[in-house]
Structure 1
């Protein structure tokens, strides 16, 4: 249980899952398992989470031809890719930074999480890892890569910045079946995690407020444990068919009221997110993916909301 910090233990206790969390802690290693070395080498993308120069938490995406991720040592990862200048994390990663990472393979529903410290290199980043662990395939929508059909690289259009979601962005959020969330603990150790469900599981309450159900997981409560001690969070919503990325930063709180959770199918509790800054990058990723095959573990989507702008 020593791998968990105070916030994680507090949430595990409140959820009544300390024993389960203790069992799950055995999966958290400080080195990359041999089987994961090959897995990483096959991946064309890596989701990352960190604090930006503005102090806000952001999640972003690094891509490259398979082989751009290399286990350069038992507890280190070489990343031959860099974020473009307009990305909210670009400047923060020009110096050593605490970094959360998740490599996810939609076609096989496999994912691997890594947390540590990254420093810039001539080709991208070098990460010294503190935590390495795989997660179960729950709530991952199966997609096949269609990268060969991606359009030729062209200069990216300017990023769109706003303090709230536009109607088009709200539509993207409401149609999402997947997003990624970046959080950090009190010491600034960052984490990047995956959330998935049927379209509609991520709800738009207003142009600055979102919520989603927290489903049954592995009882580690890495994300909720971080939010217990630091409410900053960053979301990344990819448009799998166009490569457009929507990045949101703000704060998140956990609603433990069982009556509220009962209104959302499958919810153990509810997370509410306040948008403080949105950044849209059209066609930012060169990767393209097939339509999803939804996970059999996805609970039914919550009832659709109605109201102004929804």
Structure 2
């Protein structure tokens, strides 16, 4: 029975990351289409994590929300999304036909998650479709379990900002990072990767509040044991530009950041966090704070 696994799913950056980390996975079930269990999973979700590229090639990231059922897979190599980001979302104008896109479906109450990467093939006022090029599951480690409920939010004006050396982030952004237990990071392989391993990816990072350190405009994020694919860190080796998005599940505020990432491969990169096997820094270049933009609350 054919399972549509990609024979060589990793690009040079991912292979180098695996080498620097002491070895890659025992197997790599990365497929060029979605297995049935993934196709049945996405319609259950109330939000999707979305990564794309802006006009200058910088990754951008967001959380796209709608009532469950807005994401469907009519064919194994296609995912339809009946929703679009609002105009004030930094991803909104970059979901064009032909654009590379990465999506993560994550179910916080069960800690289940699946990733799907590909290309936008259709965009309309109602939503968009993507051609699936990479589909794979992830382990449930470090996901903070939450039960989500849709709630009315009062959205405020977007606060955008840019940073330079020595700058501090806005106080509201600092507070969100200090309280963060769930973070999503979008990265890109750049054009050098081979076609079946090329594209945009978005992945989850999680831990107890305070697991992300902030000094000035630089975040330090621990890298905990996982599936050893090293998609995110491998992308950072080829293309250090990256994006982060996080939501405050109490207020609905969303924080979107673009910045430059660098991986510290030393096992003692974060000596105060014994679980961390390495760490990466993220130097913020610009950001958007969108009050009340996430319509779900969760504990």
TM-score (norm 2): 0.90
2: distance between equivalents of 1:160 and 1:122?
26
Tell me the matched-pair count: 281
Q: Does structure 1 residue 100 correspond to structure 2 residue 102?
A: yes
1: distance between equivalents of 2:62 and 2:30?
23
1:135 alignment partner in structure 2: 138
1:116 alignment partner in structure 2: 118
Equivalent positions of 1:10-25 (< 5 A) are 10-18=16-24, 21=25, 23-25=26-28
- Secondary structure, counterpart of 1:31 in structure 2: coil
Deviation at 1:277, TM superposition (A): 0.4
1:193 alignment partner in structure 2: 203
Note the alpha carbon deviations across 1:220-271, whole angstroms, 9 max, x for none: 0000000010001000011112221100001100012333333432111110
1:278 alignment partner in structure 2: 287
1: distance between equivalents of 2:75 and 2:40?
13
Q: Is the 8 A contact 1:182 1:233 kept in 2?
A: yes
Q: Is the 8 A contact 1:53 1:89 kept in 2?
A: no
- Secondary structure, counterpart of 1:143 in structure 2: coil
Candidates 4, 7, 12, aligned match of 2:10 = 4
2: distance between equivalents of 1:211 and 1:126?
34
Deviation at 1:118, TM superposition (A): 1.2
1:167 alignment partner in structure 2: 171
2: distance between equivalents of 1:127 and 1:45?
16
Equivalent positions of 1:17-96 (< 5 A) are 17-18=23-24, 21=25, 23-25=26-28, 27-96=29-98
Q: Does structure 1 residue 264 correspond to structure 2 residue 273?
A: yes
Structure 2 unpaired stretches of 5+: 1-6, 164-168, 192-197
Structure 1 unpaired stretches of 5+: 291-310
2: distance between equivalents of 1:280 and 1:4?
34
- Change in Cα spacing, 1:259 to 1:62, as seen in structure 2 (3 Å) is closer
2: distance between equivalents of 1:194 and 1:132?
15
2: distance between equivalents of 1:64 and 1:114?
18
Note the alpha carbon deviations across 1:118-168, whole angstroms, 9 max, x for none: 131342110001111111110001000122xx12x66x4221001241122
- Change in Cα spacing, 1:33 to 1:159, as seen in structure 2 (3 Å) is same
Misfit runs of 4+, over 3 Å: none
2: distance between equivalents of 1:140 and 1:259?
23
Candidates 218, 232, 237, aligned match of 2:246 = 237
CA-based RMSD: 1.5
TM-score (norm 1): 0.87
Deviation at 1:37, TM superposition (A): 2.0
1: distance between equivalents of 2:55 and 2:129?
19
2: distance between equivalents of 1:138 and 1:80?
29
Q: Is the 8 A contact 2:17 2:230 kept in 1?
A: yes
Q: Is the 8 A contact 1:24 1:220 kept in 2?
A: no
1: distance between equivalents of 2:111 and 2:265?
29
